[in-house]
Amino acid sequence: MIVGIVKEAFPGERRVALVPAVIPSLAKAGCQVVVEAGAGLEAGYLDAAYVEKGARLVPTRAEVFAAADAIFQVLCHGANDKTGRADLALLRRETVLIGFVRPLGAPEAVREIAATGAITFAVELMPRITRAQSMDALSAMSTVAGYKAALLAAATLPRMFPMLMTAAGTVTPARVLIVGAGVAGLQAIATARKLGGVVSGYDVRPAAREQVQSLGARFVELPLEAADAEDRRGYARAQDEGFYRRQRELMARVVAESDVVIATAVVPGRTAPVLITRDMAAAMAPGSVIIDLAAERGGNCELTRANETIVAHGVTVIGAVNLAGTVPYHASQMYAKTVSAFFLHLTRGGKLQLDLDDEITRETLVTRGGEVVHPRVREALLAAEPPPRDAAAGSR
């Protein structure tokens, strides 16, 4: 098979789906690689490095799509809601498309991809099982985002993170609260601790307590019981509004005592729950910082505006979107390793082998044969459709 790599088209996206170091592993498996000129430049990977590792360079995006049997992208149509639709005309029937697709958040885009006849795999649907860890692009990017969120908080806060004892007096450490102890949250905890902050973590899932404490942070105890807090894939389940209201009441004091809050709580395919209200933010000390990694899905903070930084009540609220893309060199390296490991899992002897009895293949496959084939994406499509006119008329 020929694997194609194109320059990411989303405005400001600096990552690239494959780095030169990964090409030999694909070649060993019987694959060739064709790369659009300049695809890796913004991530720090020169065209010459791709050629040196055996890739063939072509001048245009269209030539990559025309030559390739499989296309690796970071943001495919769906995840790229700005310019992704332009790729639909370039996709050929049976072309394998692998990347972030946002299938549950943008199911209509998935249907558009399906109409091209492409075989699409959404990497964000990778099951959280042991043998899929090396293929988990979402966790890899979440790790980068959590790391960068802590650095961004430290750079924005008008205080230093560590405690310092100097001739000029003692500097007290910053108090950092991480809401949501998933992959991003745990990395934010680890990084904030390395920077010297006094760190606390909270998660609705009881199993997160040990993970938070293992990183040297305090686990915030709230007298709340969540029904089915975790699904079979290891993600937090959405709770009812009554639960979130009680959670906000109990969390108000902890937020007010914090200099930094990094919020990472998301539920796949759902709007992010509001955990930090306007009043809670107003109770924080002037100069405090809220980094909202759930901004793209509505935000965990009531004040959040996606892709914007605002100051309200003296508190800086950063609606962080795509923090992984701000560290493009290593983010690309990590993404390339996960996506190539996934691709090699799908192929044998340089040919695609679709084994739908395999959980990894079955859970990530979203389009095939002109149809949307993933059950959860099909459900999302049905939920997005307006009711029939007769039903709507009868309900009045």
Domains of the chain, residue spans: 2-136+328-390, 143-321
| Fold match flag (2-136+328-390 vs 143-321) | yes
CB 12 within 8 A of CB 83: no
Average pLDDT across the chain, whole number:
94
Spatial separation of the C-alpha atoms in residues 8 and 322, rounded to whole Å = 13
pLDDT(298) > 60: yes
DSSP string, 93-108: TT-EEEEE--TTT-HH
State what percent of residues in the chain have pLDDT above 70.
94
Spatial separation of the C-alpha atoms in residues 364 and 362, rounded to whole Å = 6
Per-residue pLDDT tens over the stretch 14-66 = 999 999 999 999 999 999 999 999 999 999 999 999 999 999 999 999 999 99
Phi, psi values for residue 235, rounded to 5°: -95, 155
The arrangement of strands across the sheet holding 309-312 comes to: 218-219, 198-202, 175-179, 260-263, 289-292, 315-318, 309-312
pLDDT(396) > 80: no
- Beta-strand ranges (E) seen in 118-259 are 119-122, 164-166, 169-171, 175-179, 198-202, 218-219
CB atoms within 10 A of CB 251: 21
Nearest C-alpha neighbor of 220 from the set 242, 249, 250: 250
What CATH superfamily is the domain 2-136+328-390?
A: NAD(P)-binding Rossmann-like Domain (3.40.50.720)
What residue type is assigned to position 176 of the chain? V
Q: Which residues contact 270 (CB under 8 A, 6 or more apart)?
A: 238, 297
Q: Encoding tokens for residue 13? A: 């996206």
Q: Is the whole model's pTM more than 0.75, yes or no?
A: yes
CB 284 within 8 A of CB 253: no
Q: Which residues contact 42 (CB under 8 A, 6 or more apart)?
A: 14, 16, 328
Q: How confident is the model at residue 392 (pLDDT cuts 50, 70, 90)?
A: very low
DSSP string, 12-73: T----S--GGGHHHHHHTT-EEEEETTTTGGGT--HHHHHHTTPEEES-HHHHHHH-SEEEE
pLDDT(390) > 60: no
Q: Which residues contact 245 (CB under 8 A, 6 or more apart)?
A: none
The CATH number fitting domain 143-321, selected from 3.70.10.10, 3.40.50.720, 3.10.20.30, 1.20.120.1760: 3.40.50.720
CB 352 within 8 A of CB 119: yes
The CA angle 200-192-205, to the nearest 5 degrees, is 40
Phi, psi values for residue 329, rounded to 5°: -65, -55
- Catalytically active residues, by annotation: 128, 133, 136, 139, 235
Residue holding tokens 């910082």?
289
Spatial separation of the C-alpha atoms in residues 277 and 253, rounded to whole Å = 12
pLDDT(236) > 70: no
